[in-house]
Chain A
């Protein structure tokens, strides 16, 4: 690569970084501005918006509601997804491709379509909009990611380890609990974080299937309709910090696990 090319490539890279991060940085900055109006110049700083957020019962409960939904839907996704992955990986049977296709498809259906479909179906079944319906929709949407991540990990587990465990006296259940599952932990942790973030972030499904209590994204949406306020910036910043921290921890954790388990 010539020097000119290198500079050109570097420029494109930094332009991309700015494009991604400038809005985030502006959003964070405005959350500390001592004025109701968003925009420059910032004459004085304040933490009032943050204290306001933490004292706003609606925001705190929406935050808790979102986290509860994220945790529960992730648990369901992990259980179902891991089960499907273990069922499918390394086995050949009639209909395997069909089962795999059906399990992975929800990831490809646009959110708005599946949300409306869920809404109609849930009503038909007499399921009330609310927490259960949201968890259900989030879990269905997230299972494919769990299946793919866990299957990828499972495919690298040497068959001889399963046979060695059988050979040493373990029945299939003990093999699964003591060999397969520990091997899958990095994938399961990684998939869990991904599911948590997807669920926490979801607006469309939560909006269509929600009851009276709003999730955090739905609450932000509702607040936006009554006008932009630095309080929203403060809420978004808190959410950003929490999710980024989880994401970074998960990345480091899975990398360490992968390194440990290499023989």
Chain B
């Protein structure tokens, strides 16, 4: 968060649809120029937040401040926010140029100004020459760019994107992710992106807000969320992980000492957070485990054996069994050379305290 005034301040908004609670007292600041992604399963409240920002829903409680102005009750046509819709919502009876010019005309811009802006935005999004076509004559990727151009053309303070990559095929999606990120950098626009796809969120965002059941689970950079998930939900929703159920024995500084199947392990918590004694879950990413014939120098080390190995090309997925504890299993990714050299014999598995996150629940 920057120390200047945020572009958007979401101040305690709640929203229910009948008996279903979609959002519960959400607080959030978004800085100018940020690429913020709301990530979560369907029904987590991410789309409701987006629709409230766009003006399509009014929150039951709370306020939305945009650029210092309270816009909570302002209809969509009177706020400086534009949206890229999931189905693009291009107007089928208008050409590409008419679609993109729609918002400019309604802003009351003159003919020549519209023409200039149209040329600028169309060349920026590599749509030159498509102006006279109809949406039905475009490919999925082209339609997506037209939708983006139409939303960016009126120069909104905030751009909302509602799963705009969902309709693209997997191959194109990767390319569009990069494009979108680069467009956001070059325009220095604030993007509010909503998705249920964790990979999309990780590759594009400056900041990810993980939502679950109408609440924020965690708010941080992609790296923070990946390596230091705060909760079991985040750990499982983003990437693959080992969840270790153990008992907290105590704390040493910011390290948590826990017992896991007779092994004493050290884990990481956010600075200043205290963890009480009792049952706890820790998360360690699959690629963070190291292997050796000798006891490694890492803070955590257990002895085990490989009970299964799957060849995945550049890397291998290993199933491991900790010595002396039938229930204690781990999964790991290693490079193929290391993987094949391990064999079936006993092996040391090591990892640092910092890479093992102690979860909230």
> Residues of A at under 8 Å CB distance from B?
158, 160-161, 163-171, 174, 178-179, 182-183, 260-263
Residues of A within 8 A of B56 (CB): 163, 166
Given A167-B82, A169-B107, A263-B136: A161 in contact with B76 (beta carbons within 8 A):
no
In the bound complex, do residue A170 and residue B93 qualify as a contact, i.e. CB atoms below 8 Å apart? no
In the bound complex, do residue A164 and residue B83 qualify as a contact, i.e. CB atoms below 8 Å apart? yes
Residues of B within 8 A of A161 (CB): 89, 91
Residues of B within 8 A of A260 (CB): 92-93, 134, 136
Residues of B within 8 A of A179 (CB): 91
The closest CB in chain A to the CB of B108 belongs to A169
Q: How far is the CA of A171 from the CA of B77 in the complex (A)?
A: 6
Q: How far is the CA of A166 from the CA of B154 in the complex (A)?
A: 13
Residues of A within 8 A of B78 (CB): 169
Q: How far is the CA of A237 from the CA of B56 in the complex (A)?
A: 57
Given A260-B93, A261-B92: A167 in contact with B77 (beta carbons within 8 A):
yes
Q: How far is the CA of A171 from the CA of B106 in the complex (A)?
A: 9
In the bound complex, do residue A174 and residue B106 qualify as a contact, i.e. CB atoms below 8 Å apart? yes
In the bound complex, do residue B76 and residue A163 qualify as a contact, i.e. CB atoms below 8 Å apart? yes
In the bound complex, do residue B93 and residue A158 qualify as a contact, i.e. CB atoms below 8 Å apart? no
State how many residues of chain B have any CB contact under 8 Å with chain A.
Answer: 29
The closest CB in chain B to the CB of A174 belongs to B106
Count of CB-CB pairs between chains A and B under 8 Å: 75
In the bound complex, do residue B136 and residue A262 qualify as a contact, i.e. CB atoms below 8 Å apart? yes
Given A168-B154, A169-B103, A170-B77: A163 in contact with B93 (beta carbons within 8 A):
no
- Which has the most chain B C-beta neighbours within 10 Å: A164, A166, A171, A183? A164
In the bound complex, do residue A166 and residue B89 qualify as a contact, i.e. CB atoms below 8 Å apart? no
Given A174-B106, A260-B134, A262-B92: A168 in contact with B87 (beta carbons within 8 A):
no
Q: Is B54 an interface residue (CB 8 A)?
A: yes
The closest CB in chain A to the CB of B137 belongs to A263
Residues of B within 8 A of A164 (CB): 83, 85, 89-91, 150
Q: How far is the CA of A161 from the CA of B143 in the complex (A)?
A: 14
Residues of B within 8 A of A182 (CB): 93
- Which has the most chain B C-beta neighbours within 10 Å: A166, A167, A174? A167
- Which has the most chain A C-beta neighbours within 10 Å: B56, B82, B91, B106? B91
Nearest CB of B to A261, in Å: 5
- Which has the most chain B C-beta neighbours within 10 Å: A169, A179, A182, A261? A169
Q: Is B86 an interface residue (CB 8 A)?
A: yes
* Contact among A163, A178, A262 for B85, CB-based, below 8 A: A163
Main secondary structure of the interface of A (DSSP, over half): helix
In the bound complex, do residue B154 and residue A169 qualify as a contact, i.e. CB atoms below 8 Å apart? yes
* 15 interchain pairs, CB-CB under 8 A: A163-B54, A164-B90, A164-B91, A166-B55, A166-B56, A166-B75, A168-B82, A168-B102, A169-B77, A169-B103, A169-B106, A183-B92, A260-B92, A261-B93, A263-B90
Nearest CB of A to B283, in Å: 38
Instruction: A167-B81, A169-B78, A260-B134 are known; give 16 further A-B pairs, CB within 8 A.
Output: A160-B85, A167-B151, A168-B77, A168-B102, A168-B103, A168-B151, A169-B77, A170-B106, A183-B92, A260-B92, A260-B136, A261-B93, A261-B136, A262-B136, A263-B90, A263-B92
Nearest CB of A to B80, in Å: 10
Nearest CB of A to B253, in Å: 51
* Contact among B76, B86, B87, B93 for A166, CB-based, below 8 A: B76
Q: How far is the CA of A163 from the CA of B57 in the complex (A)?
A: 11
Nearest CB of B to A171, in Å: 6
The closest CB in chain A to the CB of B102 belongs to A168
Q: How far is the CA of A59 from the CA of B86 in the complex (A)?
A: 59
The closest CB in chain B to the CB of A164 belongs to B89
In the bound complex, do residue B86 and residue A160 qualify as a contact, i.e. CB atoms below 8 Å apart? yes
Q: How far is the CA of A228 from the CA of B87 in the complex (A)?
A: 63
- Which has the most chain B C-beta neighbours within 10 Å: A160, A163, A178, A263? A263
Residues of B within 8 A of A262 (CB): 92, 136
Q: Is B135 an interface residue (CB 8 A)?
A: yes
Q: How far is the CA of A150 from the CA of B76 in the complex (A)?
A: 27
The closest CB in chain B to the CB of A261 belongs to B92
Residues of A within 8 A of B92 (CB): 183, 260-263
Residues of A within 8 A of B90 (CB): 164, 263
Residues of A within 8 A of B91 (CB): 161, 164-165, 179
Q: How far is the CA of A174 from the CA of B78 in the complex (A)?
A: 14
In B64-108, the 8 Å CB interface with A consists of 75-78, 81-83, 85-87, 89-93, 102-103, 106-107
Residues of B within 8 A of A183 (CB): 92-93
Q: How far is the CA of A239 from the CA of B76 in the complex (A)?
A: 52
* Contact among B93, B135, B150 for A168, CB-based, below 8 A: B150
The closest CB in chain B to the CB of A171 belongs to B77
In B130-163, the 8 Å CB interface with A consists of 134-136, 143, 150-151, 154
Residues of A within 8 A of B103 (CB): 168-169
Nearest CB of A to B134, in Å: 7
Nearest CB of B to A46, in Å: 51
Nearest CB of B to A100, in Å: 24
Given A160-B86, A160-B89, A182-B93: A166 in contact with B77 (beta carbons within 8 A):
yes
In the bound complex, do residue A158 and residue B87 qualify as a contact, i.e. CB atoms below 8 Å apart? yes
In the bound complex, do residue A167 and residue B134 qualify as a contact, i.e. CB atoms below 8 Å apart? no
Q: How far is the CA of A110 from the CA of B56 in the complex (A)?
A: 46
Q: How far is the CA of A165 from the CA of B150 in the complex (A)?
A: 11
